[in-house]
Amino acid sequence: MTDIAPDMWAKVPAGAAVPPPPPPAPTYGQEVRRRLWANKPAVISIVFIVALVLAAFFGPYLSPHTYFRQDLKLSNIPPAFETYAVPQEDGSVTRFFLNASNFNLYEVDAEGHVLGLLRGGRKDIIKKSQPYEFGDQAVTLDYSRLPARLLLEDGTELRPSGWSWNRTYLFGTDQLGRDILVRQLYGAQISLTVAFVATLVNFCIGVFYGGIAGYVGGRVDAVMMRIVEIISTIPLTLYVVLLMVVFDSGLLSIIVAIGSVFWVDMARIVRGQILSLKSQDYVAAARTMGASPTRILTKHLLPNSIGPIIVTLTMLIPSAIFIESFMSFIGLGVTPPLASWGSLTSEAVETLRTYPHQLFFPAAAISLTMFAFNFLGDGLRDALDPRLRG
């Protein structure tokens, strides 16, 4: 018990032993950003959405094709094909591919650019064959048995020389010979515009309505909320349909129809936030302690109210995209030749049996976008929720 050095018994002056204060707690904004960046799906979603918006609004200008120009001779061309090569006397090679669904031959070059439809001789309807001539080479298209074959004069089958990507129409063409990629980008442009504008309209109505109800309170609030209650039991999608019937299809009408109907949730949330903020103990506490209004607003009110609103907003966008594509799908959306993801999907369904690949692009585009907004919404909700702090 005597092994303790005497200086160890020295009294520590008051305050000297106090450990250094912990680093200042990050501000709310920093915390939100940190949590959001730590959420990989949300970050990938942000990147995807930004890329999508850029592609949708600038992409069409970079393409030689337009969303409306039809070329029926070049309809239903796939994004990739098997080329056949027929050597010519002069040493050049004629390349073409066979569209196995409509039995047409299309000339292509070595890189995979589509040059045009090849004209053959008369079709023999009985024998189901059609002759083609390439310089001195005669080739017969035989589609009496499926899959269709190409036969040389000596009866041997012409073999494809290999797969090639379609360099002219990267995603192929639709049944009217329009470039699918450009139509996709236009579709994205319209779908996104409708979604953003309609969400904004909903947001404004919701904030206005919910704000008044929450701020005025009392009898006004009770009546306004009863109305909201009635509206929320009405099947709203039906009313978008009815409005579209009344307005006639078109970009503006679908924005108005969607924008005027789905504000109920927003109104409820805004009202709830305002009510709870009006009566929060911590706001009163902050005021009593002499906090400035700016400080109350930035430190207390905004962090606690903006979260649910932003999350609702993020979740409104995918549902607006969905409703728009849904309307377009049942023929109530934008009118052709304008395109949106919904109308593109429904066009692709018409040719589903013969050209299933055409369904892939609009289906993938809308699904990925919905994914991105869902992940972003989830990520934002987790990042903004102050209860999960710490």
Burial annotation 152-169 (CB, 10 A radius, 16+ → b, else e): eeeeeebeeeeebebebb
Q: Is 18 in the site for other proteins (CB under 8 A)?
A: yes
The piece of 121-129, 132-140, 272-280, 371-379 that touches other proteins (CB under 8 A) is: 371-379
Q: Is 126 in the site for other proteins (CB under 8 A)?
A: no
Pairing of strands 162-165, 137-142: unpaired
C-alpha dist (Å) from residue 156 to 138, 139, 148, 149: 12, 10, 14, 10
Residue window 19-48: x/- pattern of binding to other proteins, with contact defined by CB under 8 A = x--x--------------------------
Position among 93, 216, 330, 386 found at the interface with other proteins (CB under 8 A): 330
Q: Is 242 in the site for other proteins (CB under 8 A)?
A: yes
The piece of 104-112, 171-179, 238-246, 305-313 that touches other proteins (CB under 8 A) is: 238-246
- Burial (CB count within 10 angstroms: exposed 0-12, middle 13-18, buried 19+), residue 2: exposed
3-class secondary-structure state, position 297: helix
- By beta-carbon proximity to other proteins, the closer residue of 10 and 289 is 10
The piece of 89-97, 157-165, 298-306, 318-326 that touches other proteins (CB under 8 A) is: 318-326
Q: Give the HSE-up count for residue 310: Cα atoms under 13 Å, Cβ half-sphere.
A: 17
Q: Is 146 in the site for other proteins (CB under 8 A)?
A: no
- Sorted by sequence, the CB contacts under 8 Å of residue 265 that are 6+ apart come out as 206, 312, 316
Residue window 351-370: x/- pattern of binding to other proteins, with contact defined by CB under 8 A = -xx--x--x---x--xx--x
Handedness of CA 306, 312, 314, 320 (dihedral sign): negative
> Cβ distance 93 to 162 under 8 Å?
no
Q: Is 318 in the site for other proteins (CB under 8 A)?
A: yes
The piece of 63-71, 122-130, 157-165, 232-240 that touches other proteins (CB under 8 A) is: 232-240
Cross-strand bridge partners of residue 173: 179
Q: C-beta of 319: minimal distance to other proteins in Å?
A: 10
Q: Is 162 in the site for other proteins (CB under 8 A)?
A: no
| CA 388 – CA 236 distance, rounded (Å) | 34
- By beta-carbon proximity to other proteins, the closer residue of 91 and 218 is 218
- By beta-carbon proximity to other proteins, the closer residue of 236 and 310 is 236
Position among 34, 243, 253, 351 found at the interface with other proteins (CB under 8 A): 243
- By beta-carbon proximity to other proteins, the closer residue of 12 and 125 is 12
| CA 106 – CA 19 distance, rounded (Å) | 80
Position among 57, 196, 215, 371 found at the interface with other proteins (CB under 8 A): 371
Q: Is 234 in the site for other proteins (CB under 8 A)?
A: yes
C-alpha dist (Å) from residue 146 to 20, 126, 142, 162, 213: 82, 15, 9, 20, 69
- By beta-carbon proximity to other proteins, the closer residue of 110 and 220 is 220
Q: C-beta of 346: minimal distance to other proteins in Å?
A: 8
C-alpha dist (Å) from residue 70 to 58, 185, 288: 22, 17, 71
Q: C-beta of 297: minimal distance to other proteins in Å?
A: 28
| CA 123 – CA 106 distance, rounded (Å) | 16
| CA 44 – CA 316 distance, rounded (Å) | 20
| CA 181 – CA 185 distance, rounded (Å) | 6
| CA 144 – CA 171 distance, rounded (Å) | 29
Residue window 266-305: x/- pattern of binding to other proteins, with contact defined by CB under 8 A = ----------------------------------------
Q: Is 325 in the site for other proteins (CB under 8 A)?
A: yes
3-class secondary-structure state, position 99: strand
- Give residues in contact with other proteins (CB under 8 A): 1-2, 4, 7-12, 14, 17-19, 22, 229-230, 233-235, 237-239, 241-243, 245-246, 318, 322, 325-326, 329-332, 342, 345-346, 348-349, 352-353, 356, 359, 363, 366-367, 370-371, 374-375, 390
